[in-house]
Amino acid sequence: MQPAGPAEPVSPQPVAIEVAALTPTDLQKMLPGPDGFETLPGPQGQKWHTTIDAPVQAAIQAELDRQHVAYAAVVILDPATGAIKAIVEHREVGDPVGEIGSLTDATVPAASVFKVVTAAALLDAGQTPDLRACYHGGLHGLDPSHVHESARDTQCQTLTEALAHSTNAAFARFALRDLQPGALVAMAERLGFNHPQPADLLMGASPMVDGVTDFERAKTAPGFIGSKLSPLHGALLAAAIANDGVAMRPYLVDGDAALPGVVREPTSLGQWLPADQAKALRRMMRETVVQGTGRHAFGVRTKALRNVEIGGKTGSLNGDDPAVFRHISWFVGMAPVEQPRVAIAVLAVNGMNWKAKAPGLARDALTAWFTAHPAD
């Protein structure tokens, strides 16, 4: 009888681990594990292993705390799997400006991040990134004179340029001229708006309502009215674009100490966009960082980002509460552009004397990621 040889190594087996909907409060119970990932106690005494990269999470939290923004949030996802790699927020105690803002609920306007949805609807309607519109005005707002052709239309931009520079009047023209009524809502709902999305964290629906009149539709397309967004949904939107249009269910728990040798099975939420349209959007979003509204934040690259192509969309809008002035800023994007490894969403809510805006916080968060996980 031959002696038994060494046992074959057992590969981790993907399984369905049941995780009840967690809340941001549950995240406060996470502790660094011995392998560099966070652990989380489950409701029945489980010791869950999470997808959170503990050193990156700690670095981002320290930066948000240092900046003292009234409210700030950062979410980083692995686009290919939906694994949540970092999910961090900071709220200044006693500051009424920071009383709004949530990681998982859509409490603030999507602002110009919604231009990504409008651009996706235009591509889906058969338009190209080279689609052009001529316009005048509309830099900080829109009035009825901005939305229809005029002899004053002396400036022209392509869809790529308008997305990069967040040109409100151009997006108003695109929406009225090149989209059928209802097309914007249809695309928004394909991209996760108006329906709660499945995730380990209880995730509220991001609402979107299109305008009825031409002027309302013109204000909806660039993000002035009609849409709200949460940081987790913003990261999911960016992740779907990064993953060639396939959205993956965001998950936080990937193992249980009581089930050694098993790992969480990633699950798809479906093909939100055709792959070619997702790739086109990524390349358009790269121009935001190269020449557009993100160029100042990313103009001087940290060492970790020096060879990383970043794509994104900024957003900026003042709140509508007459009692408390709030400036809301966003950055939603992915890196590297051609073969994305991370998707990111950053929200910052500042008062009259702002501390830090979302694009700069996104630069710092991506620096933390690529310092820990250098680009090839």
Per-residue pLDDT tens over the stretch 246-257: 999 999 999 888
pTM confidence score: 0.93
Lowest mean pLDDT among 135-139, 179-183, 225-229: 135-139
For the chain, the maximum distance between any two Cα atoms, rounded to a whole number of angstroms, is 95
How far apart are alpha carbons 133 and 36 in whole angstroms? 50
In the chain, what is the straight-line distance between the N-terminal and C-terminal CA atoms, in Å? 50
The yes-or-no verdict on residue 1 having pLDDT over 50 is no
CB atoms within 10 A of CB 354: 14
Read off the pLDDT of each residue in 44-73 and give the average, rounded to a whole number.
94
61-97 pLDDT tens trace: 999 999 999 999 999 999 999 999 999 999 999 999 9
Lowest mean pLDDT among 16-20, 23-27, 205-209: 16-20
CB atoms within 10 A of CB 123: 22
Read off the pLDDT of each residue in 122-148 and give the average, rounded to a whole number.
90
How far apart are alpha carbons 42 and 14 in whole angstroms? 19
* Nearest residue to 98 via CA among 347, 351, 362, 323: 351
Q: Which residues contact residue 326 at a Cβ distance below 8 angstroms, ignoring those fewer than 6 apart?
A: 70, 97, 100, 318, 319, 349, 350, 351
Read off the pLDDT of each residue in 221-237 and give the average, rounded to a whole number.
97
CA 358 from centre of chain: 11
What pLDDT shows up at residue 376?
75
271-303 pLDDT tens trace: 999 999 999 999 999 999 999 999 999 988 889
Could you tell me the two tokens for 72? 């700030």
What domains can you pick out in the chain, each with its CATH number?
Answer: 16-37+47-372 (3.40.710.10)
